[in-house]
Amino acid sequence: MTASAAEAEDAVTAADAAARGWAALSAADRASIVIKALSGLEADADERAELLVRENGKIRFEATIDLHVFVGRFHQAAKFAPLLDENERIAGPPFTTTISHVPAGVVTIIFPFNWPLAILAASLPYALMAGNAVVVKPPPTTPLSVVRTLRHLVPALPPGVLNVVTGLDEVIGPVVVGDPRVRHVCFTGSVAGGRRIMTMAAPNLTNVTLELGGNDPAIVLADADLDDAAIGRLTAATFMTSGQVCMALKRLYVPRRRYDEIVSGLRAALEPTRIGSGLDAEVTMGPLNTRRQRDYVADLVAEARQSGAEVLQFGDLASTATDGNYLRPALVLDPARDLRIVTEEQFGPALPVMPYDTEAEAIAAANDTWSGLCSSVWSADPEHAMAVAPQLRTGVTFFNNHNATAVDERAPFGGFNQSGIGRELGREGMFDFTETHVMSVPSL
């Protein structure tokens, strides 16, 4: 069902009416209520996983993980909630000052299709436990799995604390972002989408958290251990969810003397790829979510091939891949550094692999981008890796791993440059949904 602008306004009104009562509870009590609301999720987990596969296209295994991460992030958030009940005090003279953190009010959360439940849970439990009433806008292409999941939570929360509005961005977006009663918008999506959110939020000076795209580099150092397990992690870091992950590895820099070795290893890992419906148990890579995105990635690869770069494509199409947005995974070898396959975010199953001669050259190339979400350093020597990592201008740097499987859920997550504003997860992710209130009394 597509909501109207009036129905979106009703959701904001309900959230605004519920916000004060919800905020009056302690953070610990709110966390307890929210965790109890999860109790019914196991009852239809299999059905929701299948629904997510049908909407999203990802393989069944990833859909199941999506559901598990959703629950796990709620429990992780609950560990940080009691911090909000601990006010900081500064003794006098000249003042005795108390610093507290109060809820922002009404929060809108907008998120994408690729890992919809996991990404929603990077913000929803934190916003709720921080004392805010929330309006959730699911992605247009995967609304049903989200709505069915949140139906388990809504009845267990006070009326109006959690609201869900499905519909077209152009119809309900101006309401759930631009209404002056909305005091914080958390958006995960493209850079262009983030700019639109900022434009709509600007008239009311509404606070925003933006987790946007990335063009993540990985630097393999000369001393890296590239056994089958490491090659497997490099492959998964790139091609998970058919490459449709903001923090996926998107540019690979390798020492020239080890270039052939790494390409050979990636080739061996990718050759068995089976492409088709995510409901097919033998399939290891599903389709891209939209035809438009499939065509965009195919254009990037074709442009690189036409420029003279060698393109290797892998995998077989299963019988279930008769009609859909399927692409074979591709390695683009040593492309010109100004090609779009290098400078733009592919968000699909294609990886440029580029040789370098010095570490300084690799670091400079890694930082030469509009983005700054994640990066990774691959080395057998932790001290060597730690010398390189601080030079990378990204919000997160992984070691000998990359992508969502490498995220420490206890730590804040977000990017530099055009990859975003603010942080999700961790202590910072909780406090990001609050306002700081300072109360000072003159001390004698």
Distances (CA, A) of 253 to 119, 150, 219, 261, 335: 28, 41, 5, 13, 12
Distances (CA, A) of 347 to 100, 102, 134, 189, 289: 41, 37, 29, 11, 11
Q: Are 335 and 302 in contact (CB under 8 A)?
A: no
* Residue carrying structure tokens 């077989």: 316
Distance of alpha carbon 131 from alpha carbon 53, whole angstroms: 33
Contacts of 34 (CB under 8 A, 6+ apart): 74, 78, 125, 128, 129, 153, 157
Active site residue ranges: 211, 246
Looking at beta carbons, which pairs linking 199-202 to residues 24 or more positions away fall under 8 Å? 200/173, 200/174, 201/177
Q: Are 408 and 427 in contact (CB under 8 A)?
A: no
Question: In the structure encoding, which two tokens stand for residue 46, read together?
Answer: 């299999």
Question: In the structure encoding, which two tokens stand for residue 308, read together?
Answer: 């003279």
Contacts of 85 (CB under 8 A, 6+ apart): 26, 27, 28
